[in-house]
Homo-oligomer: A and B are copies of this chain.
Amino acid sequence: MSTAYKLGATCVTFNASGQVLIARRRSPDRWELPGGLVDPGESLSGAAARETLEETRVGVRVRGLVGLYQHPNRRILAAVFVATAVEGSPHPTEETREVRWADVADALSVLHPLYRPRLEDALAAENTVAMRVHDGSTMLSTLAVRPARP
């Protein structure tokens, strides 16, 4: 009697100044953390990086897992990752009308209520926890336990 979920990934990206990458979606019009649904065969952390690049033009290196959000009614499970910006700069896209680096307090004040706790969770995390992709016998990739901030 199990049930089928869609998997999502949200990315909390920091730059070298400790600012957070936020994006104002075109529809619905609201400030969010970048993210979206996992494609077939794709890893959760891969989806986090891909969606962030697609929505902000910023390339990131995902550091690790800092939270998990379950929405039983809509059957969506979203993993929250912390990431470091490695290339590009914020730029609007087809999906986003505005993208920018924000100081943490600023980000907390403008983010939609659905996303604010995800940033709070990323800030509260001292360490990431293990995130492994496997095929039943072999580990395909691993994000190990490490400090949540560089």
Query: Which residues of A approach B to under 8 Å, CB–CB?
Result: 1-7, 37-44, 65-74, 77, 79-80, 113-114, 117, 121, 124-137, 139-140, 144-145
Contacts and interface: CB of A to CB of B under 8 A. Distances in A.
A3 B42 CA distance: 10
A44 B65 contact: no
27 contacts: A2-B38, A2-B40, A3-B7, A3-B39, A4-B5, A7-B77, A40-B72, A41-B72, A42-B72, A44-B68, A44-B70, A44-B77, A65-B129, A67-B132, A68-B130, A71-B134, A71-B136, A73-B135, A77-B77, A113-B137, A121-B129, A121-B145, A124-B130, A125-B145, A126-B126, A127-B129, A129-B129
A5 B38 CA distance: 10
A125 B113 CA distance: 29
A125 B132 contact: no
- Which of A74, A117, A128, A134 is most buried by chain B, counting CB atoms within 10 A of its CB? A134
Contacts of A79: 68
